[in-house]
Amino acid sequence: MNQGETSSHTLNQELGRYRLLKRVGKGGMGEVWLAEDPRLHRQVAIKTLPVHNQDDRDFLRRFEREAQAAATLNHPHILPVYDYGEQPLANGRSITYIVMPYVAGGVLSKRISAFRNSAMLMPAQEALQHLTQAAEAIDYAHDQGVVHRDIKPGNMLMRSENWLLLADFGIARIVSNEENLTQTGVGFGTPEYMAPEQAQGKAELSSDNYSLAVIGYQLFVGRLPFKAETAYATTIQHLMLPPPAPRQINPAISLATEQVLLQGLAKQAAQRPPTARAYVSELRQSLTGSASSTFYSLPAPPGSQPLHPSSQPGPSAMPVPTVDPTTTGATLASATTVISTGGKQAADQPTQRQKGIARRRLLIGVGGAATLIAAGGGLAAWISAAQLHAGSTQTQNTHFSGNSTPVADPDAPSLILRGHNSHTWSLAWSPLKDSLILASAGNTDDHQVLLWDIQQLQKQATSSQKPVVRQPFSGNDLLLVWSQDGKYLGIGGLNSESDLNATAVTVYANTLNTTAPGFDKPIAVGGSNVLYGLSWLQGKYLVTGQQILDLANLNGTDKIQIGAIDITQPQPQWIGTIIDGSLETLSSVSTNTTPFVASPDGSMLAINTLKGVLIGNLSIAGKTLKWQQKAAPFQLRQTQNNIQYQIDALTWSPDNQTLAAFTSETAEPSIVSWQWNNQKNVTQIGQSQQGLTTLAWCPVPSSPLLATGTKDGTVLIWDRTKNQSPIRSLNNGGIKAAVGTLAWSANGQWLAAGLQDNYGSILTWKIS
């Protein structure tokens, strides 16, 4: 796919159901069109991506994955995604597009240019305001497991002068491929704002924070830290050179502010502030100590155009220092202005500052050829309260009473486990009641499954607790499920092996050190690249659940597919069947809340759709798989107004007769239960003012206990027989991150929660 090939010469006046009005922007990653949505009678912005071959499954997989991830983001400073789709073109080509609100206020890059053209720096308070709003959006996305990969002022829309919207999540990753990942600066980010590790094809959460720090440097110093004649040369500077000292360019910057600006641009990700908000907080604190600052003037560039009134720099704008942009140190003109700045106490502790570039070896690809470069320098550690906490894996489990006497806190985590490179995607306890083995899988780019011996870890006095097994796996967003006898662990997810191009599953022995017979390689699951469920049937069938998206007919209905693999066969094969396609799309509150949930004995499946919950079972005869629906779709409705509420998560009771669910569409999230064969008998378990994310029923026979995760990391325990209020609230050990997944141990005595933080934290509590 040619990254420069766009769509303007191939499109007519319509794209899907949208009527194109005019092109309003064009860049290396696509075009932006002003369009009209005739169904909803509103104007929208449509981002069209470079055209591609219709059989390019890698591109379609990336597009679907990243567009879905972007569409789940809901934050006041993130431009929402309304819709996305694909439209066939002539000669076997297709174009994909993403639909967003139309924002007419321009972009932050134009506002920066307006100040630059007037030889002024943006006022410090305005700069902090923009950085703060961007940081909030970035950290929120990171909590959801989403990396932007192209943070820059051109992707920051201005709804008004004081309201910023971060846009284009996932675009850089959609248009990248293995070929252009070897061409530094092409197709997967913007060289002027790209972190060193991202230039090497290893983007991570901290890469976005680095890009924000480049913007911070640009706003307070008046120029970019690195800018060369070519994209490659700019990338080399990010990889090799220390940033020019801000005070050499603008001596009015305080030493404290200079240290923060440089810390954000540390070459090693671990040396940067742990979050975007932490960086802005440190920057604000450094400015608080500068009661007055002297800035320097720059003659207005020849031919400068008058500014739009809404873009005129305010009276407190700062003159930009005169400096040759190709040098790191220059003589500055005379002082002209004094300003004062304010701020508040930073949330994170003061840090040790960057002292140089870490000595390492850099591998950068240029036109398919690899160049090995050595860089030298000193190391400096970034130490913050968050990272000090992140280094610990066992909690104090105490609090202080009124007389300062330490008292055991029964609701604090017993253990905090960390071993994944990203937040935990799924958890599964061994079903053996005499075993406390916990399996965990990480999110995208982690590629590993871990086994934890909780019983053994509880006995250890050291905080350096490690998993007993660490098994690499070639998939992303992995789902885990133990066979009912505890002999096998099924693993499934998006497989990254080039010969599969789809979801795949495999089966390991319970020790995770060897695969089951016939599973030397993962077995491809046809029809979709998103796995929504994984379960066992009759102890020998590994069952998969998927949604098949129809990109050629986005206004139509999608199909639901169920598959099974008989693991007892010498050469196991996947077989599938399609069930009622009139159910529209599957429903899921978050990307790792599975819409397919199997009953504890593996005999029944509950499938959450937008038209209700399906209950049924599977029968297998040879290579034929049949789905038998057992009841009409269950719908959670308000009888007074006949409003149907979307169910966000499902779980089964231990006796396989009752389901529980919660919905976030009521005034307060509501938790209900019902018998699958008696849908009129609906019981409200309770309501919570906290945002719920997932839930799980205790597997002990006849247990009435359910656990729900929340957006702030708290886990609430409910008794189905005692309505309305949780009976217990388990605290998050000080880690403020949403609960992504929950799992009870087979004996009901332990509960584990995977948090969506940057450290892959897994909290475990001893319940009884």
Cβ count near 227 (within 10 Å): 14
Q: For the chain, what is the total number of helices (H) and then of strands (E)?
A: 12, 47
User: Which residues are 561's β-sheet partners?
Assistant: 546, 578
Task: Please give the Cα distance from 446 to 606 (Å, whole number).
Answer: 29
Q: SS3 helix, strand, coil % of the chain, rounded to 5?
A: 20, 35, 45
Task: Please give the Cα distance from 481 to 490 (Å, whole number).
Answer: 5
DSSP assignment of 701-729 equals TT--EEEEEETTS-EEEEETTB-BS-SEE
Q: What angle do CA 334, 335, 338 make, to 5 degrees?
A: 175
Greatest CA separation found in the chain? 87
With helix as H, strand as E and coil as C, how does 393-452 read?
A: CCCCCEEECCCCCEEECCCCCCEEECCCCCCEEEEEECCCCCCCEEEEEECCCCCEEEEE
Amino acid at 243: P
Task: Please give the Cα distance from 425 to 755 (Å, whole number).
Answer: 9
- Under a CB-based contact definition with an 8 Å cutoff, are residues 716 and 725 in contact? no
- Under a CB-based contact definition with an 8 Å cutoff, are residues 18 and 35 in contact? yes
- Under a CB-based contact definition with an 8 Å cutoff, are residues 390 and 755 in contact? no
Tokens of 500: 């599969």
Amino acid at 240: M
Tokens of 178: 């293995």
**Distance (Å) of CA 99 to CA 18, 37, 329:** 9, 10, 45
Cβ count near 486 (within 10 Å): 17
**Distance (Å) of CA 675 to CA 536, 602, 647, 678:** 22, 17, 16, 5
- Given the residues 150, 348, 446, 757, select the one marked as catalytic: 150
Task: Please give the Cα distance from 66 to 58 (Å, whole number).
Answer: 12
Pair type for strands 42-48 and 30-37? antiparallel
Q: What is the DSSP letter of 59?
A: H
Tokens of 82: 């309304």
Residues 6+ apart with CB under 8 A from 666: 645, 687
DSSP assignment of 240-307 equals HSPPPPHHHH-TTS-HHHHHHHHHTT-SSGGGS-SSHHHHHHHHHHHHHT-S-EEEE--PPPTTPPPP
DSSP assignment of 463-476 equals S----SEEEE-SEE
The conformational region for residue 382 under phi > 0 = left, psi -120 to 50 = alpha, else beta, is beta
SS3 385: helix
Q: Return the half-sphere exposure (C-beta side, CA atoms, 13 A cut-off) of residue 623.
A: 4
Q: Is 150 a catalytic residue?
A: yes
Sign of CA dihedral 270, 179, 186, 15: negative
Task: Please give the Cα distance from 763 to 393 (Å, whole number).
Answer: 9
Q: What is the DSSP letter of 231?
A: H
Catalytic residues: 150
